[in-house]
Amino acid sequence: MRNRNITIGDVARLAGVSNATVSRALQKPDVVSEKTREKVNAAVLETGYTQNVMARNLRLDRTGMVVALVPDISNPFFSEILSGIESVATREGYNVLIANTNNDPAREHIYASYVQSNLADGILLLNGHVPVPNGAQKIIGDMSNLPPMVALCERIPNVDLPTVVIDNVDAACLATQHLIEMGHTNIVHVAGPIDNILTKDRRDGFLSALENAGLAQNLSDIFYGDFTINSGKQAFGKINQKEAIPTAIFCANDEIAMGVISAAREAGFSVPDDISVVGFDDIEIAEHYYPTLTTIHQPRRQLGVVAMEQLVELISSADAKIADLTTLGSQLIIRKSVKKVE
Amino acid sequence: MRNRNITIGDVARLAGVSNATVSRALQKPDVVSEKTREKVNAAVLETGYTQNVMARNLRLDRTGMVVALVPDISNPFFSEILSGIESVATREGYNVLIANTNNDPAREHIYASYVQSNLADGILLLNGHVPVPNGAQKIIGDMSNLPPMVALCERIPNVDLPTVVIDNVDAACLATQHLIEMGHTNIVHVAGPIDNILTKDRRDGFLSALENAGLAQNLSDIFYGDFTINSGKQAFGKINQKEAIPTAIFCANDEIAMGVISAAREAGFSVPDDISVVGFDDIEIAEHYYPTLTTIHQPRRQLGVVAMEQLVELISSADAKIADLTTLGSQLIIRKSVKKVE
DNA sequence: CTGAAAGCGCTTACAG
DNA sequence: CTGAAAGCGCTTACAG
């Protein structure tokens, strides 16, 4: 078995002081005499004492832990966001439990209940919805009773939560405009899952760009997928069956775009010579893909930083004044997957 | 502030029983009478009680948490491994704290000390070395005192730890042999960081394949990088300065391979027509890259599964008999980045 | 089957 | 500046 834990009592005995004094010497060194402090420090070294954080947290009714609910950590989109979250967490004395939910409500629930169970102080929602808690119905409608939470990347409809996002409608509109400016008129859109809020926003942006340009908007020109490479491939299969093959495709994320490009290539088309493609997110591989991908850059790290800062504030003071909605800037990155048509 | 916590005492009062009975009714239902159990369950529902896991853990001297030390979560290589780890963790009642260390010893230390601090029951080492703990020198040499740990993906030299890996030497040899079988004789290797154990193993495999084939082995044909796309690009820059441009390049991982391919293309070479490239790892994007990447497939999910299973065993019984070294199979995946030379 | 009591390791008002 | 004591929320031998 593990050795018996070395406790504050062991240190106290060796230093010849009380537990209380050891605790103070460690937590608030300036409140004890220098002599005592030195005795305690020596005893800590000699015993190899390390604080039992669980006991401390139990006593203080805090945990120093924050849960990040991520639908899929294998998605490269999230890694830099998490890195931003962690940098703030480290600075503020929190640790981040990255909870991979796979969009499984049961798993979301487990991790959400960490807060109720005093295993975490707050939750970062990267999954686009509020996890349904234990008592289900009881909580809905009584939002004031929810644990500290901040949503990021995807805003959550009908819920009053601090939220950190980019303007997806605007960005999608910008991306589509770029295609239009490059002379394309037959443009289709490969979207995400039909009920997803990002799908809605980016599709709205796409449609409004077409509308502004006076181009036809056929809802049949929107193909739904699930943000994966494979769904991009499948979508291209359908696009390839149209009588008039479009000259440009706006994809709701980079992975879809890579799937579209890869399937187009297999079908004998060249990107961008035959078909131009624009992605969304600017994941790391985008600039190394072939062709390098024109896409919308999201300030991923910054999204994480701002959201975590807001969560920390929320945890430390319940009546903190946090903006409901923080919108960060995004930008169109022009690379080589789009070609001008004459 | 958060509401006062609802405790086991509140439930007990409402149910008209003692705290002890509530605890039993919840943890070992069969040991209380049915009538009592029902009263307690009703009271739990009415109060909305949820267990304070921290208090429970403090009492039981366990945490139900395991730390996975990952050098870089943004590296797609790790995501599927983590997913394997998590599937076992969920099944066994553990949660996984994914600790992104960025190879920063300080961060490794913080997370490693979670075990000492009773915040975690064990550690999964995906970073290739044992974190240096608080008391530093004290621990070295007294391995019996280390917390439960399992190393995976990278074996750790000079340390006696359960380890789950593939045979990197063999696999690298196989990959190089493939190039040789395809008629290549001028082959170079782009390796990882020079002091990394994977670098060593894969380089050894590369060299032994050359030796077996009676091909020249110039150590100047090995270019060191750091497993990133950019290091692959840089390496190709140097390769391109050789008087005799090699016809084949074995890369120590897929990201290097993608960097090499991308730089080669920019320099006017075609892969595989001019230069064949083999990667290592078979990350998700490998089969969607252009050209699709011939590479070594690592059973990533399985690596995570086996390692976590071993860790659980180690935690639950200190004298569990765990194999020192578990070697999982890998395989060469042939795609389109290699061409036969006549 | 159930309760009273001790104890996990810590912190902090309260006295002095 | 320091100590004795209470208490965070839980579980479990020990009696009954």
Q: Return the amino acid letter for B297.
A: H
Q: Where are the beta strands (DSSP E) in B260-318?
A: 276-278, 295-297
Under the phi-then-psi rule, with left for phi > 0, alpha for psi from -120 to 50, and beta for the rest, what region is A90?
Answer: alpha
Q: Summarize pLDDT for B202-214 with one digit per residue, the tens.
A: 999 999 999 999 9
**Rounded (10°) angle between helices B19-27 and B8-15:** 100
Could you tell me the two tokens for A168?
């997806």
Section A271-293 average pLDDT = 95
Section A31-50 average pLDDT = 91
Calculate the average pLDDT of chain B: 89
Q: Which helix (H) or strand (E) holds B99?
A: strand B95-100
Interface of B with A in 273-302 (CB under 8 A): 284-285, 288-290
How high is the pLDDT of residue A10?
A: 92
Tokens 């297999």 locate to: A266
Q: Summarize pLDDT for B299-324 with one digit per residue, the tens.
A: 999 999 999 999 999 988 767 778 88
Nucleotides of C under 7 A from a protein CB: 1-13
Q: Do B80 and A90 touch (CB under 8 A)?
A: no
Q: How many CB atoms lie within 10 A of CB A16?
A: 11
% of residues, chain A, pLDDT over 90: 63
Q: Which helix (H) or strand (E) holds A263?
A: helix A254-266
A76 touches A106 (CB < 8 A): no
Could you tell me the two tokens for B270?
């075609």
Q: Which residues of chain B have pLDDT under 70?
A: 1-4, 132-145, 318
Interface contact A243, partner B, CB < 8 A: no
Q: Summarize pLDDT for A234-263 with one digit per residue, the tens.
A: 999 999 999 999 999 999 999 999 999 999
pLDDT above 90 (res A76): no
Peptide bond into A291 cis (omega under 30): yes
How high is the pLDDT of residue A144?
A: 52
Backbone torsions φ then ψ of A105, nearest 5 degrees? -55, -35
Who among B5, B58, B97 is closest to A54 (CB)?
Answer: B58
CA triplet A125, A129, A131: central angle to 5 degrees? 80
Backbone torsions φ then ψ of A6, nearest 5 degrees? -85, 125
Nucleotides of D under 7 A from a protein CB: 1-13
Q: Do A73 and B229 touch (CB under 8 A)?
A: no
Q: Which helix (H) or strand (E) holds B82?
A: helix B76-92
CA triplet A312, A314, A317: central angle to 5 degrees? 105
Count contacts between A and B (CB, < 8 Å): 126
Interface contact A145, partner B, CB < 8 A: yes
How do strand A331-333 and strand B95-100 relate by DSSP bridges?
unpaired
Task: Mark out the alpha helices in A267-337 (DSSP H runs).
Answer: 300-316
B149 touches B125 (CB < 8 A): yes
Interface contact B138, partner A, CB < 8 A: yes
pLDDT above 50 (res A1): no
**Running DSSP on this structure, what letter comes out for residue A137?**
G
Distance between A129 CA and the closest CA of chain B, angstroms: 22
Chain B: residue whose CA lies nearest to A57? B54
Q: Return the amino acid letter for A289.
A: Y
Q: Do A288 and B61 touch (CB under 8 A)?
A: no
Backbone torsions φ then ψ of A50, nearest 5 degrees? -130, 140
Q: Which three-class secondary structure state does DSSP give residue A202?
A: helix
B63 CA vs D6 C1’ separation (Å): 26
A13 CA vs D2 C1’ separation (Å): 15
* DSSP per-residue letters across A231-262: HHHHHHHHHTTSSS--SEEEESSHHHHHHHHH
Q: Which residue's alpha carbon is at the shortest distance from the C1' of D7?
A: A59
Could you tell me the two tokens for A334?
């022009």
How high is the pLDDT of residue B137?
A: 35
Q: Summarize pLDDT for A127-174 with one digit per residue, the tens.
A: 988 886 544 433 334 445 678 899 999 999 888 899 999 999 999 999
How do strand B331-333 and strand B295-297 relate by DSSP bridges?
antiparallel
Q: Do B74 and A74 touch (CB under 8 A)?
A: no
Q: Do B74 and A51 touch (CB under 8 A)?
A: no
Interface contact A236, partner B, CB < 8 A: no
Q: Which residue's alpha carbon is at the shortest distance from the C1' of D9?
A: B55
Report the alpha-carbon distance of residue A274 to residue A251 in Å, rounded: 16
Chain B: residue whose CA lies nearest to A259? B288
Calculate the average pLDDT of chain A: 89
Length of chain A: 342
Of B311, B329, B328, B308, which is closest to residue B320 (Cα–Cα)?
B311
Taking contacts as CB-CB distances below 8 angstroms, the residues of chain B near A262 are 288, 290
Q: Domains for chain A: give ranges and CATH numbers.
A: 8-51 (no CATH), 63-165+301-328 (3.40.50.2300), 168-298 (3.40.50.2300)
Q: Summarize pLDDT for B185-194 with one digit per residue, the tens.
A: 999 999 999 9
Q: At A318, is the pLDDT very low, low, confident or very high (cuts 50, 70, 90)?
A: low
Peptide bond into B193 cis (omega under 30): no
Q: Which residues contact B82 (CB under 8 A, 6 or more apart)?
A: A73, A74, A100, B68, B70, B73, B96, B98, B304
Q: Which residues contact A10 (CB under 8 A, 6 or more apart)?
A: A47, A49
Q: Do B107 and A90 touch (CB under 8 A)?
A: yes
In chain A, residues 47 through 86 whose Cβ sits under 7 angstroms from any atom of nucleic acid strand D:
55, 58-59, 61
Q: Which three-class secondary structure state does DSSP give residue A326?
A: strand
Q: Which residues contact B339 (CB under 8 A, 6 or more apart)?
A: B182, B272, B273, B276
Report the alpha-carbon distance of residue A277 to residue A257 in Å, rounded: 7
Q: Do A82 and B61 touch (CB under 8 A)?
A: no
CA triplet A273, A277, A280: central angle to 5 degrees? 155
Q: Which helix (H) or strand (E) holds B26?
A: helix B19-27
Could you tell me the two tokens for A244?
């008039």
Interface contact B270, partner A, CB < 8 A: no
A188 touches A216 (CB < 8 A): no
Interface contact B83, partner A, CB < 8 A: yes
Chain A: residue whose CA lies nearest to B262? A288
Could you tell me the two tokens for A18?
């009380």
Distance between A74 CA and the closest CA of chain B, angstroms: 5
How high is the pLDDT of residue A134?
A: 47
How high is the pLDDT of residue B317?
A: 76
Of A315, A322, A277, A293, which is closest to residue A164 (Cα–Cα)?
A322
